[in-house]
């Protein structure tokens, strides 16, 4: 039963890392990345639909995204959704395809973005520590209810701490990689 709890905690920590990766994918760096559009939804005949489900998104140039809607009547709705998003890039359209040109990031914007990366990393660490705390509380309760021995509790707490340290290190590595990516000219 205890190893199940550890496995469950490990799965939750892996989800925290996965969530961090998804967060990082939406951060705009100097070059075009289709994942920055992942959270944008479009009004598709009354239903809010993810942008990647109403058209083809491609990267024809390093700093340009091209969106080709499957339904030509969706061009205006997609433009509206892009303008309403926090992307900060205004789309250009020829009536058939929409282009998003990513400007070079200024030094100030790079520093601001790297702070955002670090904030998201801290949030992931907090999530991982909360998972550890929940598991520790569960172990104390199991010990109190005589479901596990004190030795088992200590052993599991050590394993949990090692696992937590590993995941915190993974977060730090990802933050470092993303920060370098943001700061690269």
> What is the spatial distance between Cα 40 and Cα 82, in angstroms, rounded to a whole number?
7
The pLDDT of residue 30: 66
How many CA within 13 A on the CB side of residue 126?
Answer: 6
Per-domain boundaries in the chain? 2-25+106-183, 34-101
Distance of CA 93 to the CA centre of its chain: 29
Q: CATH classification of 34-101 is 3.30.1360.40, yes or no?
A: yes
pLDDT computed for residue 2 by the predictor? 64
From first to last of its 185 residues, the chain has per-residue pLDDT tens of: 467 888 899 999 999 999 998 888 777 666 777 887 888 889 888 888 888 888 888 888 888 889 999 888 888 888 888 888 877 788 888 888 999 888 777 888 888 888 999 999 999 999 999 999 999 999 899 889 988 888 988 999 999 999 999 999 999 999 999 898 888 76
pLDDT (0 to 100) of residue 183: 82
Q: Are 175 and 121 in contact (CB under 8 A)?
A: yes
The reported pLDDT for the residue numbered 1 is 46
Domain 2-25+106-183 belongs to what topology? Answer: Topoisomerase I; Chain A, domain 4 (1.10.132)
Q: What is the pLDDT of residue 122?
A: 95
Beta strands in the chain (DSSP E): 41-44, 47-50, 55-61, 64-69, 92-93, 98-101
pTM of the predicted structure, to 2 decimals: 0.71
Q: How far is CA 109 from CA 13, 105, 113, in A?
A: 31, 6, 6
CA 112 vs CA 28, 32, 106, 108, 109: distances in Å: 11, 18, 10, 6, 5
């Amino acid at each position: 039963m205890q190893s199940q709890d550890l496995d469950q905690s490990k799965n939750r920590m892996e989800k925290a890392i996965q969530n961090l990766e998804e967060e990082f994918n939406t951060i705009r760096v100097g070059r075009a990345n289709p994942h920055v559009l992942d959270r944008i939804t479009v009004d598709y005949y009354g239903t809010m639909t993810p942008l990647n489900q109403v058209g083809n998104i491609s990267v024809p140039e390093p700093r340009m995204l091209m969106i080709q809607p499957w339904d030509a009547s969706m061009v205006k709705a997609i433009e509206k959704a892009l303008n309403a998003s926090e992307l900060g890039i205004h789309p250009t359209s020829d009536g058939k395809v929409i282009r998003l040109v990513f400007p070079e990031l200024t030094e100030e914007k790079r520093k601001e973005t790297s702070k955002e990366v670090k904030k998201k990393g801290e949030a992931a660490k907090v999530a991982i520590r909360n998972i550890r705390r929940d598991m520790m509380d569960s172990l104390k309760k199991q010990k109190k209810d005589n479901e596990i021995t004190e030795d088992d509790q200590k052993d599991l707490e050590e394993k949990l701490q090692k696992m937590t340290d590993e995941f915190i290190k993974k977060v730090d590595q990802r933050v470092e990689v993303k920060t370098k990516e943001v700061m690269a000219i």
